[in-house]
Structure formats: C-alpha cells, structure tokens
Amino acid sequence: MAASSAIDKAIAKLDAILAGVAASASAAQVPAASTAAAAAKPAKAAASKPATPAAAAAGDPTAFQAKVQIKVARILSAVPQPNSEKLLKLSADLGAGDTRQIMAGLQQYLKPEDLVGKLLCVVSNLKPAKLAGEPSEAMVLAAEGTGSGGEAIVRALVPPEGSQPGDPVHLDGASPVANPKVLKLDEWRKVSPGLVVAGGHATYGGTALMTARGYVTLPPEITDGCEIH
C-alpha cells in the first residue's frame, strides 16, 4: 500500500508539472497572436486607402496651363474691409478697360498704400464669389514665408519690369490660353499646389512663370520653397 501511495503521489506531481507547462505555452501564444493581428490591421487599412485626386494633379504643368489664366493687374485703390480683419477691398485694372473688384486676404500683412499703383499677378478666370458680402472677381497671387522674428510674412508676386495691365502670365515654354473656361474654386484647389518659389522666381511644377517681358519674381525676404496661393 505504501508503494502504491508513493506511485500515486509521483503521478499526481507529474500531472501538475505537465499542466503548468501547457498553461505557460498557451499564455505565450496569446500575445503573439494578438501582436500579429494588431500588425495586420494597419496594413489592411493602408491598402484600402484611396489615392487623393488633388495630390495626383499637383505639379502638372499641362493641366495648370490649360485651366488657369493669370494676368498682370495694376492696383487702383485698396481699403480695409470694415467687417473683416483679413480682407482688403481692391480695385484692379486688368487692361483693355477691364476693371475688377478683388477681395484679398492681405490686410494683416500689407498696407493699402504699399499696394496702390503696384503691378501684381492675378488669377483672372476664377469664378466670382462673395467675400464678407462683397463681390470678388479675381484673386491676387502671393507667397507666404517666415520673417526673421518667426512671424508670417506675405508678399505679392512681382511681374517683370516693363509689364502692363493685361499682360498674360504663362509657364516658360508654353503659350497663354486665350479663352479658358471659368475656373471653379475646387478646381483651383486641385491644380494650385504646384506653385512654389524657386531661385527667387514663381514656378509651377518646376517651370517658371513669365510674361513676354521676363520672369515673375518674389521679394528677397520670400525664400525658396515658400508656397504661392
């Protein structure tokens, strides 16, 4: 009986050891499986994410040239819009008797007196819209950079010397589009991300903007890589 009892105890002890080993192995497999499942989830999400149409169109000079009409304009008057902290109400001469009102978000960056009489570049076929209750019939192109004190600075594009109101602005090597379609705001947002400053010049998709008189430039405080809006 004593021998039988000793054998029973030994068997019970062995069973306990085997049960502990099995439990440890099972516990080790659970985190591994969880980790594998967690790692698989982001990959699945990334694979199903669609491409962004705007990103695909960015920097496409052919699309930009076909859709966007830019002209030189002379600012005739500039006043702060009373019900807005951002907008200046501009009157601009686009040549050939074409005078337009433009609501430009420049009030925080440029003084009205610094704009009057100056030549700027404007998107002339942008669909008219109302801003702060006033019609805006074109859009001033400007670049945003960072000042020496870390503050945001905005400067308008500078047409080449000798430019006149109405002069067409186009990509180097391309011809201006005479009668493009009206450009909707969402179309502008898709095609405009390629506009950046490079070598002190306004460029799109690596190609410089110019008129028949030369290249469109930026003031020296606007450094390369700054975006143009």
The DSSP H or E segment spanning 130 is strand 129-131
Rounded to two decimals, the pTM is 0.74
Phi-psi sector, 82: left (phi>0), alpha (psi -120 to 50), beta: alpha
How far CA 154 is from CA of 161, 171, 174, in Å, comes to 21, 23, 28
DSSP annotation of 228 reads B
The pLDDT of residue 58: 52
Closest C-alpha to 160, from 169, 171, 151, 148: 169
The pLDDT of residue 37: 40
DSSP annotation of 65 reads H
The pLDDT of residue 2: 43
The pLDDT of residue 68: 97
Q: Are strands 88-93 and 139-140 parallel, antiparallel or unpaired?
A: unpaired
Query: What distance in Å separates the CA atoms of residue 206 and residue 159, rounded to the nearest whole number?
Result: 18
Closest C-alpha to 136, from 83, 88, 73: 88
Determine the topology of domain 61-215 in CATH: OB fold (Dihydrolipoamide Acetyltransferase, E2P) (2.40.50)
How far CA 201 is from CA of 58, 80, 119, 121, 220, in Å, comes to 18, 29, 16, 13, 10
Q: Locate the domains of the chain by residue range.
A: 1-49, 61-215
Written as tens digits, the pLDDT of the chain (229 aa) is 444 444 455 445 545 544 444 444 444 443 443 444 444 444 333 333 333 333 333 578 999 999 999 999 999 999 999 999 999 999 999 999 999 999 999 999 999 999 999 999 999 999 999 999 999 999 999 999 999 999 999 999 999 999 999 999 999 999 988 888 999 999 999 999 999 999 999 999 999 999 999 999 999 999 999 999 9
The pLDDT of residue 212: 97
The pair of three-digit structure tokens given for residue 45, joined into one six-digit string = 């999400």
**Beta partners for residue 197, in sequence order:** 202
